[in-house]
Structure 1
Amino acid sequence: MLNGIRKAGAAVLFACAFVIASCSPSGEEPAAPKTQFSIGWSIYAGWMPWPYAEQAGIVKKWADKYGIEIDIVQVNDYVESVNQYTAGQLDGVTVANMDALTIPAASGKDTTALIIGDYSNGNDGVLLKNASGLADIAGRQVNLVELSVSHYLLARALESGDLAMTDVRTVNTADADIAAAYTSPDVAAAVAWNPQLLTMKQEPGTLQVFSSADIPGEILDLLVVDTATLEANPDLGKALVGIWYETLALMQQDDEAGAAARAAMAQLAGTTPEMFEAQLATTHLYVEPGQAVAAATADALVETMTRVRDFSFAQGLFGQGASSADVIGMAFPGGKTLGNPDNITLRFDDSYMRMAAEGGV
């Protein structure tokens, strides 16, 4: 079965002290040009194009074009993949927007979101048993992976219903255990992501009262890379966007080749083609690079990251040294910034996606 582990990263912070700008390009020696790079990934529907591209020779094709080598590295545990990236063991990694902020960026590692790949469009949901609507969640205990995107989704759901976090009690439940826990008659509310969500929806008396489709564009899946490495090696960025958009174009084809690509991705994910297709249906892929550029340059991205950082700070995810939500700076296309402009450690860069859109890679 496809492991739904991509969003648990915020529950385990990278074990290092909060650093003010010391890991930004201005506080370290510039990275040196190099020819070998490693990109980490973990299993999630929106990230399966990466291992498929390696298997199909697309990675080698683009790496050869720029005279470099790119190793696409599977890390079985999502949290570990982000921690390895934060520790400098990987040059880039697949990560959700909230976790990019709360793990590498909050640890002082200057990180660039090179590709906005997709947003969850129903892959995450709030489930209640024996309920008629969201209002029935009040007073219940809610099983979920605490301090993860599920926790963020719960907060947004409660906000939509004029409820507060104090109206419920959360119970930390590992993603590997949540589907089994939900079968218990003692569990009457839960927040989960696919594929567990698909299974849990089948439990008798279950109603999905809120999902990521209600907050489109807020739960983003990214490919991030080390900023200094990218600055020293722009060909890496060109190769990565080339790989990504060629693979997405192939998997979108409504023909035998497209079906074969998706089936291969399902196999790499350890699931069936049917289940993989079901998860793709609730994953809004930015198939065309121009679509991703539009998402990166929209005011909505700044609004989303404001919500995400405010929630993360309130939950203590910026570390003990963080005095306010503004302590971490974020940069966006067009010169827009959020938070401390002297401590920018998360950058949304549309330039390479724009190159792909304009045929410049």
Structure 2
Amino acid sequence: MIQSIRNVAKAAMIAGALLTASCSGPSDKPQGEQKVFNIGWSIYAGWMPWPYAQQAGIVKKWADKYGITINIVQVNDYVESVNQYTAGKLDGVTVANMDALTIPAAGGKDTSAIIVGDYSNGNDGVLMKGSDNLRDIKGKSVNLVELSVSHYLLARALDSVGMSLRDVKTVNTADADIVGAFASPDVQAAVAWNPQLLMMKKQAGAHEVFSSADIPGEILDLLVVDTKTLKANPKLGKALAGIWYDTVKLMKEQNAEGEAARAAMAKLAGASTQQFDDQLKTTYLYADPKEAVAATDDPALIKTMTRVRDFSFSKGLFNGATSADAVGMSFPGGKTLGDAQNVTLRFDDSFMKMAADGKL
């Protein structure tokens, strides 16, 4: 079964990131030209192209082209992968947009999102028992992983019907326990992500009343790289873009080669082909670099990141900052959000553009 990508509360995630960063921060990494790079990943449908690319020789093909070595490193726990990146032990990592902002960026690590790989298009959902009307959630307890994207999704769901988080009571529930919790007669509402969400939707009386498909493009999955490392080694960005688009193009093919690639990815994820395909149905992959560039350049991304950072700040995820503007973000075209003098999260479309223009 495919493991979830956001599998503990954010508070623990931030504490771990700050602890490891204090011991081995970005300043400990050499900033000159490198030959060997380590890119971390954890199991999630939208990130399985990376280990498959290594297995299939696509990583070597592109790394050899630029005279470098790229190691695609599995970290069994998503939280630990982000912590290792934040601590400078990885040059890049697969990460959700909210976590990229609230962990490395909020912790002061200058981070560049160079590939916008996919968005959750139904992989995350709000479930209720006995009602298919979201408005009936008012006054109820809602089980979820607090301070995660589930918490953000609930806030967006409530806002869509004129309510807020004050109208419900959240019950912090580990993702490993969420399926069992929802099976209890005492639990009437929950928020979860796949694969748990798929199992919970099959329970008697369950209704999905809101999902990430209702807010397309807001829960993004990225590949981020240390900005200083990237600037000193632009070949890394070119190779990673080449790897991604070669692999996703193959993955999307509706022929024997595409089927074989998806089957191999499912096996790498510890899932059946059917389970993997079910998750891909609710994962919008940016297989075309032109579409990924358009999504990154769209002003809607700034609007999304404004929502994400305002929610994160309201939940105390900016490490004691007194304003949501404390962490600066930059976007294509020289646009910034927050403190322009403290930009630590950069949406960099340059390598995706090279792929789109055939210039890698």
The two structures have a TM-score, normalised by structure 1, of 0.95
Equivalent residue of 1:176, what SS?
coil
Cα distance per residue 1:157-193 (max 9 Å; x no partner): 0000111111111011111111111111111100000
Aligned AA (2:96) = A
Shift of 1:203: 0.7
Equivalent residue of 1:224, what SS?
strand
Shift of 1:5: 2.5
Aligned partner of 1:351 in structure 2 is 350
Equivalent residue of 1:16, what SS?
helix
Shift of 1:360: 0.7
Alignment partners' CA distance in 1, 2:241 and 2:9: 24
- CA, structure 1 residues 68+128, in 2 after alignment: closer, same or farther (shift >3 Å)? same
Equivalent residue of 1:37, what SS?
strand
Aligned partner of 1:205 in structure 2 is 205
- CA, structure 1 residues 258+9, in 2 after alignment: closer, same or farther (shift >3 Å)? farther
Q: Residues 73-84 of structure 1 correspond to what in structure 2 (within 5 A)?
A: 73-84=73-84
Alignment partners' CA distance in 2, 1:10 and 1:101: 12
Aligned partner of 2:329 in structure 1 is 330
Alignment partners' CA distance in 1, 2:87 and 2:30: 17
Aligned partner of 1:137 in structure 2 is 137
Aligned AA (1:352) = F
Alignment partners' CA distance in 2, 1:263 and 1:338: 41
Alignment partners' CA distance in 1, 2:137 and 2:166: 11
Alignment partners' CA distance in 1, 2:147 and 2:132: 27
Q: Residues 25-64 of structure 1 correspond to what in structure 2 (within 5 A)?
A: 31-64=31-64
Cα distance per residue 1:325-359 (max 9 Å; x no partner): 00000000000000000000000000000000001
Q: Is contact 1:9-1:78 (8 Å) kept?
A: no
Aligned partner of 2:281 in structure 1 is 281
Aligned partner of 1:112 in structure 2 is 112
Aligned partner of 2:123 in structure 1 is 123
Q: Residues 133-212 of structure 1 correspond to what in structure 2 (within 5 A)?
A: 133-212=133-212
- CA, structure 1 residues 9+260, in 2 after alignment: closer, same or farther (shift >3 Å)? farther
Alignment length (residue pairs)? 354
User: Over aligned residues, Cα RMSD in angstroms?
Assistant: 1.6
Shift of 1:8: 4.6
Equivalent residue of 2:143, what SS?
strand
Aligned AA (2:327) = I
Aligned AA (1:338) = L
Shift of 1:9: 6.7
Q: Residues 261-276 of structure 1 correspond to what in structure 2 (within 5 A)?
A: 261-276=261-276
- CA, structure 1 residues 8+305, in 2 after alignment: closer, same or farther (shift >3 Å)? farther
Aligned AA (1:252) = K
Alignment partners' CA distance in 1, 2:194 and 2:40: 21
Equivalent residue of 2:351, what SS?
helix
Shift of 1:155: 0.2
Cα distance per residue 1:5-41 (max 9 Å; x no partner): 3465734214428x9xxx89xx999811010000000
Which of 18, 41, 55 is matched with 1:16 structurally? 18
- CA, structure 1 residues 355+9, in 2 after alignment: closer, same or farther (shift >3 Å)? farther
Cα distance per residue 1:286-340 (max 9 Å; x no partner): 11011110011000000000000000000000012x0100000000000000000
Aligned AA (1:328) = V
Alignment partners' CA distance in 2, 1:351 and 1:141: 45
- CA, structure 1 residues 226+9, in 2 after alignment: closer, same or farther (shift >3 Å)? farther
Alignment partners' CA distance in 1, 2:28 and 2:340: 17
Aligned AA (1:299) = P
The two structures have a TM-score, normalised by structure 2, of 0.96
Shift of 1:93: 0.2
Q: Is contact 2:31-2:232 (8 Å) kept?
A: yes
Q: Is contact 1:7-1:150 (8 Å) kept?
A: no
Equivalent residue of 1:38, what SS?
strand
Equivalent residue of 1:89, what SS?
coil
Alignment partners' CA distance in 1, 2:195 and 2:152: 19
